[in-house]
Amino acid sequence: MSVFNQSRSRIIRFIFIVAFVVIVVQLFYLQVISGKYQQLARDNAVFAKVVYPERGIIFDRNGKAILNNTIIYDLMVTPAEVKGLDTLEFCRLIGMDTVEFNKRILEAKFKNTAVRPSVFKGLLTKEMQARFEENSWKYPGFNLVERPLRSYSYNAAAHILGYIREADTKDIENSGNFYRQGDFIGKTGLESYYEKVLMGQRGVQHMIKDNKNRLVGHFENGAYDTASVAGRGLRTYIDIELQQMAEQLMANKVGGLVAIDPKTGGILAMVSGPNYNPNDLTGPDGSKNYSKMVLDVTGPMLNRAIGGRYEPGSTFKPLGALVALNEGVITPSYGYPCGGRYTLCGHGKPACTHAGGGHAANVRLSIANSCNAYYAHVYRLTVDNPKYGNVKNGYLHWKEYMNTFGLGVRLGLDLPNENPGLIPDTSVYNKENANRWTSCTNLTLGIGQDKMLTTPLQMANAMCIIANKGYYYTPHFVEKIDGETDEDSSLMKKFRVKHDVLTHIPDTAFSAVIEGMNDVVKFGTARIAQIPGIDVCAKTGTAENYTILDGRRIKLPNNSMFVSFAPKDNPKIAIAVFVQNAGFGATWAGPISRILLEKFLNDTLMTKSKADLERISKANLMPAYFKRLQYKEDSIRSYKWFQTTKDSTYIRKYTTGVFPEKSKPAKKNPVRKPNEILAVLPERTNYLATGKSPQA
């Protein structure tokens, strides 16, 4: 048969070749020219899995690990692999009913699909974990995944060490997206301040994933992976035994306690009452406990040692003396004829516990007897010093002294959220007194009252300055960082600088004050702090205080304060103790200080101290009004909850049953300047009282 038409065969060949060329061109474009597909493929198939390093460990001064890592287990489930499961038995094993079981399996499928593992039950208890491990072969599709957890080996130092939690959106934003959802970050305490050191360096594993996001192996055999570097340890000054004892003493009390080694500025112990067990925030019940504590009106999360603001009262007097001595307005032998009250301002205030007998014949005696009139007068002499022309200039000078003593400014210790306290500026007095005021206006600043507010830390640091005769190191916890880098050193630099702030004050002035404080213990108000064989220097303080509750001003028991250092000639420890609403300075804060001094300096306790330890740690000095306050806060919250959600679960217990009585008003004490009182209190906890008119 003849060939029909050769040209048609050519056309068909041509069609074949055109198709071939078109495909080759498109392939060339996809594979060679356009680079985007490589990246897309990578995004598709490579998952950068973050490997979390172990967080650094925190040690006390004796090398004991006080914050360590432990491992707890999450029970994971891969729903597609769950086969032939005896659901009933399994539920009994992990303590769950079958309804809940089915719900969780559904949830897992919904969240992560059936083929990928998701958390079935987080943070198993040890017992549950052991039970599961024994029987795990019976439960395909379930497995345990390790999760590192912080563990506080001594159940102590919660406020110092702080805690970690999942980073919230703000943390993530602030870190420039360094942290990601689900990362843990130090939220308070040393965990927060030394976050960079403790967290270590995250590693990355590039894992290949399949179309269902299951990880199936290392990408390019791990060529791009980086190993994680464990966080470095912190060596602190903390004496964990001292810390534990201090916490025992402050149990069920509101207040703050700070113990510092004056020679180094190293903080030996720091307690804020009420306290909490740091291990409560980790582990299975962590979140529950956290929210409970956040809503507690006693403020267990607030570190009162650095965040509580108290009128220092009489404990301030040694500082007043030093300023006046240095300014030359008095000499160590300066005396004031106190007759029981201060009369030079015309209103006979402040009153004094002693009258006559030359109880304020010189500086040393005035401290030992804590003469209010003497220090009111000394304050006036200081600010009215003719050298400065007028009271405002004089006041500014006095304020500068206060700031060099570390009052009214942040000291900058290695914990976040330090409160600067308050030494008011002249503008405050100008405003309140229409620009016309004299040293009589704020006379009680001389005895640590008026608008002056300090934190326990500031007072402890002030004691260090006196003990050291003029210098101090910024108080801090961390002595050194394991494997310290240059970056760490710059972080630590400010704690290693000696601040020679007041070394120009003559030795005679210091001696007069120190001897006076020694006399306080020997013959004065702080005889309770005597320790045989050790020269203790101390000063007591007591402050009245009020709070406002149910629209009435109520008087609360006095705040008890005690500052001290010892031994006199070679000071090794300075302590400031503030106990709210505890009564007289010497009854609670005094013995607490003594026990701690003994513990630190002698490492044993006298029989008397052992008894005191027993007595004090059992004493509950929580102010009664907290109960009423808690009741109010809770009921208001549940009412609001009811209003927004129409869910009456919470409010029901407030609409029925008994509830705490309203507090009794203080006698004839209407609210005079509620705003003023509230204004000076720390935020959110503004009902946590401060002191008024100290004595002795």
Q: Which residues contact other proteins (rule: CB under 8 A)? A: 1, 3-6, 8-9, 11-13, 15-17, 19-20, 22-24, 26-28, 30-32, 34, 36-38, 40-42, 44-46, 208-212, 216-217, 219-220
Pick the closer one to other proteins by CB: 38 or 390: 38
Give whichever of 22 and 227 is closer to other proteins, judged by the CB atom.
Answer: 22
Let me know: does 123 contact 150? Beta carbons within 8 Å. no
- Residue 481's φ and ψ, nearest 5 degrees, are -105, 135
Q: How far is the CB of 217 from other proteins (least distance, A)?
A: 7
> In the complex, what is the shortest distance from the CB of residue 110 to other proteins, in angstroms, rounded to a whole number?
14
For other proteins, which is the closer residue by CB, 47 or 52?
Answer: 47
With CA atoms as reference, report the closest residue to 416 among 581, 654, 190, 176. 190
Is residue 327 within 8 A of residue 338, CB to CB? The reply is: no
In 3D space, the residue among 122, 177, 166, 162 whose CA is nearest the CA of residue 145 turns out to be: 122
**Which is closer to other proteins, CB of 215 or CB of 355?**
215
CA distance 57 to 236: 11
557 contacts: CB under 8 Å, gap ≥ 6 = 581, 582, 583, 623
* DSSP at 30: I
Quote the CA–CA distance of 693 and 696 in Å, as a whole number.
Answer: 10
Closest approach, Cβ 202 to other proteins, in A, equals: 24
Query: 1 or 434: whose CB is closer to other proteins?
Result: 1
Q: How far is the CB of 17 from other proteins (least distance, A)?
A: 7
Minimum distance of other proteins from residue 31's CB (angstroms) = 4
Q: Least distance from C-beta 115 to other proteins, angstroms?
A: 11
Q: Where are the beta strands (DSSP E) in 15-64?
A: 46-51, 58-59
Name which of 212 and 347 has its Cβ closer to other proteins.
212
Structure-token match 């009456």, residue found: 648
- Cβ-based nearer residue to other proteins, 44 or 430: 44
**Among the listed residues 315, 295, 350, the one whose alpha carbon sits nearest the alpha carbon of residue 455:** 315
Could you tell me the smallest distance in angstroms from the CB atom of residue 142 to other proteins?
24
First to last CA, the chain: 134
Tokens standing for residue 97: 């009913």
Beta carbons of 318 and 510 less than 8 angstroms apart: no
Tell me: cis bond preceding 350? Omega within 30 of 0 counts: yes
* Cα–Cα distance for residue pair 109/78, rounded to 1 Å: 8
The nearer residue to other proteins, 220 or 647, going by C-beta atoms, is 220
Residue 25 CB, nearest distance to other proteins (Å)?
Answer: 10
Q: Residue 42 CB, nearest distance to other proteins (Å)?
A: 8
Distance, CA of 206 to CA of 216 (rounded, Å):
11
- Whether residue 471 contacts residue 499, with contact meaning beta carbons closer than 8 Å, is answered with yes
Element (H, E) at 565: strand 552-566
Q: Are 81 and 88 in contact (CB under 8 A)?
A: no
* Residue number, 8 or 288, with CB nearest to other proteins: 8
User: What letter would DSSP give residue 409?
Assistant: S
Comparison of 112 and 404: residue with beta carbon closer to other proteins: 112
The least CB distance from residue 18 to other proteins, in Å, is 10
